[in-house]
Amino acid sequence: MREFEIFTVGNPPPYHGGHYWIFVKLTTNGGVSGIGEAYAVPFHPSAAEKMIADVCERCVVGRNPFHLEKLWRVVYSRGYAQRSDMSVTAALSAVETACWDIIGKELGRPVYELLGGRVRDKLRAYTYLYPEDGDAADVYTCADAAAERAGEYAARGFTAVKFDPVGAYSAFDPRQLSLESLERAERFVNKIREAVGGRCDLLVGTHGQMTAAAAIRLARRLEPADPLWLEEPVPPENVEAMAQVARATAIPIATGERLATKYQFRDVLAKGAAAILQPALGCCGGILEGKKIAAMAEAHYAQIAPHLYCGPVEGAANIQLATCSPNFLILEGIKTWDGFYAEILREKIEWQDGYVIPPTAPGLGVTLDEEAARRHPYRGNEQHLGVHNEPL
């Protein structure tokens, strides 16, 4: 590898996918470039850029992008920590994804053709319920508005929608939910089920707000609506607590956004804590690591649903993994991949009637529009995602 460049791109309002996206471009001695994306580095991007640059300077420049297994171990083990630290694995994920983009371009093949080949010609996709300009009520807090939006998405072709009926999360979670919160969540789910009928699966996207006891109470209220999953019902640090929830409900448990590497996903599978794994390829360790996680899941009869709440480069990586994984379930997107998601790429990710169509171009199948990226530098002081710093 000859050089690298880091782009921190400000995501314009309404910030769907976070306040900013961090892209890493690698270029070989032969002039072939690849792009990757880092997700959820828990620092301001000015600090994240320095961390990623240090990784690239010490571990990437001068190395062969085809030697991914060796590069992965060198970055993962740097500084002696050798553990699944998302600060390191986000940088590693961006670098590893960029290497795959280079490899695919060098060989003239999409990445999925190099990891087992195409399994599906189209990929079922879902989106969160998002507010729109002119809404009379907030889809995040009003069950009727959320149900109306879900009906609109179903009419456009979506066969699954996600929403968080529990509400805000804080640095002091997990917590026991109040009766008011339980009733609100039950009302949300029932209203949305009534609006979409059997056209859509309901994905209950909680964010680790609950204790195991609270999650079990909630799950029992939601079971009659038959959600496809209950996502991250407890924080990711306690696998045994998540397994306790999984044993107590018929709703499949999904988790993985805040897990990194095969090692943390191994513990989830070993404890029977989830039936659906959601690796975020911008922080779990990259595309090959995602393929290893998918293979472990396959052996446990678990499925994968790659997570996305950042930019379209991680989304493109998710598409490559989903296309070549037999146990793929569903793909997360930001609505239909329009707006700034399309503006920042030279090739729009193709969405048709609720499905993403895998690209046939080599590498990731997308190219970052570097001029568009430079026109949108991030100048804010927010982190990509945050939590309330007071108890709720």
Q: Are 271 and 54 in contact (CB under 8 A)?
A: no
Paired sense of beta strands 253-255 and 229-231, if any: parallel
Torsion of CA 361, 366, 372, 376, to 10 degrees: 180
Q: Which is the catalytic residue, given 19, 44, 67, 207?
A: 207
In 3D, which of 319, 377, 378, 309 has the Cα closest to residue 348? 319
Six-digit token pair at 268? Answer: 């989830």
DSSP element (H, E) containing 33: strand 33-38
In 3D, which of 357, 367, 323 has the Cα closest to residue 102? 367
Interior/surface letters 334-349, b for 16+ CB within 10 angstroms, e for the rest: bbbbeebbeebbeeeb
Q: Which is the catalytic residue, given 307, 376, 384, 388?
A: 307
Please count the helices (runs of H) and the strands (runs of E) in the chain: 12, 13
Q: Say how far apart CA 302 and CA 75 lie, in whole Å.
A: 29
Clarify whether 16 is annotated catalytic. no
Clarify whether 376 is annotated catalytic. no
Q: Say how far apart CA 290 and CA 331 lie, in whole Å.
A: 14
DSSP state of 230: E
In 3D, which of 363, 350, 362, 364 has the Cα closest to residue 314? 364
**What is the residue type of 323?**
T
* Beta strand residue intervals within 89-164, DSSP E: 123-128, 160-163
- Catalytically active residues are 207, 307
